[in-house]
Amino acid sequence: MDKRMVDIRALRAAGVRISLAESQDAMYGANVIGLESQNSFKSAMRTTLVKERRDQEIFEQFFPLFFSSNTPLMNNIPDNLSQQDQKMLEKALRSLAGQMAALKDLLRQLVEGRPFSDDELGEMGERAGLDNAEGMSSRPWMERRMRNQADLQRMQAAIEMLIEKLKEMGMNDEKAEELRDMLEQNLEGLSDQVSNYTGRTLAERMADQDPKPSNDVMDIPFQRLSDDDIEQIRREIRRLAAKLRSRASLRQKRSKDGQVDPRRTMRANMKYSGIPIELKRKTRHVKPCLVLICDVSTSVRFCAEFLLTLIYELQDQVARTNSFIFIGDLVDISMDFKEHEPLEAVQRVLTANPPGYYSTDLGNALNTFKRDQMGLINGKTTVIILGDGRNNHNDPRIDVAEDIHRKGRRLIWFNPEHPSSWGTGDSDMLQYAPASDGVYYVRTLRDLADAVDKVLADG
């Protein structure tokens, strides 16, 4: 039972999300399955504790540390030899004792197939500095130090010397090679024992410590996201959309239950001689009609991916959405989201439109939009342009942005570049900003989610 509890705490410390209820399920499953069949027991633990594919590897790494024997299977070599060969082996060991005094005890331990005791492993760990190691990332380095303390690195040479000595004393080649195989198997068993002890010690220390708070991916700047962070955001974005959907639904409910509308109330109660029996309330919230124009060049690609995924996960809160992307020119991607789920649609769009280098031209994209898509804009349309406002010194077509601003309900910018960089180099952001109703600086996923929430709030 204690081992199972340590296993659960170590998994938590390694980053696996395990709730109290899931811990209880694991304990219940372990008690029902028992330890008679390790495969069944392992399946029960994995089923109750592991929810995501990425955590499978962590579980496979930790499980054998707590639920495998630390006593390796080793051969007692003299038991497999004839009396004559036993005497020859004993004589060879004595003759080599002077040449490798430091290794003679370990070599005899190999011959007899004796694993390390817990006390011996503890002493090696103390000399290797195992008590000062932190986390499983230091395991390979600590294993090398432990093997050096155990002199396992030099034992291969000692085995070769012993085999050569036995051949000199008359042991035939076939028997000598058989003996070599058994010695090397025992050496591998001792090495595995050291490895398992090192890993279990580090895991137990992790389990005894409070998990270090991890960086919330919501607050990591888009430019600093690692591959693991990006995958985590892709997994979490539906959960984020659910939170925004709950907020939007609550706002709509409050809107419907808002202030009493006197004129509608009087009109509805004429049949009651003007007595206000049925109250009519003002409904101010209207679902927005959106047009998205997203830069998918290298500098803002992930921001565009997350915005598109988030918006289309929230389609029940939007009256209509038309989406476009651009690098050098405008591409209509609305149909992709009608035919596929948001996550799949985004990946299809990004794969079909690889990032370009120094080819971004928002001005040309706006010109194409005016020519082919201006009919989408009316007094109920909110246009969101996601990009850093950089045009590689091409014509920014501010006039088109102004036309969209005048014709639509509002034009909003989402810009992941810091405002201090606006207007520098090929940035035309300081010209675009006055031709819009506002600019959101979306440096992180939290900024992006807040900006989307405000758009939905003011539908």
Give 371-381 pLDDT, tens digit per residue.
Answer: 999 999 999 89
Contact in structure between 300 and 225 (CB atoms under 8 Å):
no
Domain residues of the chain, as ranges? 2-67, 77-208, 227-457
Mean per-residue pLDDT, 325-333: 92
Q: Which class would CATH give 227-457?
A: alpha beta
- Interhelix angle 139-149/118-128, rounded to 10 degrees, is 110
The residue behind tokens 């009396």 is: 83
Of the candidates 215, 225, 156, the one whose C-alpha atom is nearest the C-alpha of residue 191 is 156
Higher-confidence position of 163 and 444? 444
Mean per-residue pLDDT, 187-203: 86
Q: Is the pLDDT of residue 253 over 70?
A: no
pLDDT of residue 194: 87
Give the confidence band of 402 by pLDDT, cuts at 50, 70, 90: very high
First-residue to last-residue Cα distance in the chain: 55
Give 105-142 pLDDT, tens digit per residue.
Answer: 777 887 888 888 888 888 888 888 888 887 777 888 88
- pLDDT above 70 covers a percentage of the chain that reads 89
Whether the predicted model's global pTM rises above the 0.75 cut: no
CA–CA separation, 421 vs 439, rounded Å?
A: 14
Give the range among 131-140, 157-166, 251-260, 335-344 with minimum mean pLDDT: 251-260
Mean per-residue pLDDT, 376-388: 92
DSSP 8-state assignment for residue 387: S
Q: Is the pLDDT of residue 436 over 80?
A: yes
Q: Is the pLDDT of residue 67 over 70?
A: yes
Higher-confidence position of 185 and 247? 185
Mean per-residue pLDDT, 159-170: 83
CA gyration radius for the chain?
Answer: 35
DSSP 8-state assignment for residue 300: G
pLDDT of residue 299: 82
Mean per-residue pLDDT, 377-390: 92
Q: Is the pLDDT of residue 1 over 50?
A: no
The residue behind tokens 């005016």 is: 370
**Cβ burial 121-156 (10 Å sphere, 16+ → b, else e):** beebbeebebeebeebebbeebbebbbebbbbeebe
Q: Is the pLDDT of residue 303 over 60?
A: yes
pLDDT of residue 98: 64
Higher-confidence position of 309 and 60? 309
DSSP 8-state assignment for residue 293: E
Mean per-residue pLDDT, 181-209: 83
**Cβ burial 384-413 (10 Å sphere, 16+ → b, else e):** bbbbbbbbeebebbeebbebbbeebbbbbb
Of the candidates 211, 193, 194, the one whose C-alpha atom is nearest the C-alpha of residue 11 is 211
CA–CA separation, 100 vs 197, rounded Å?
A: 27
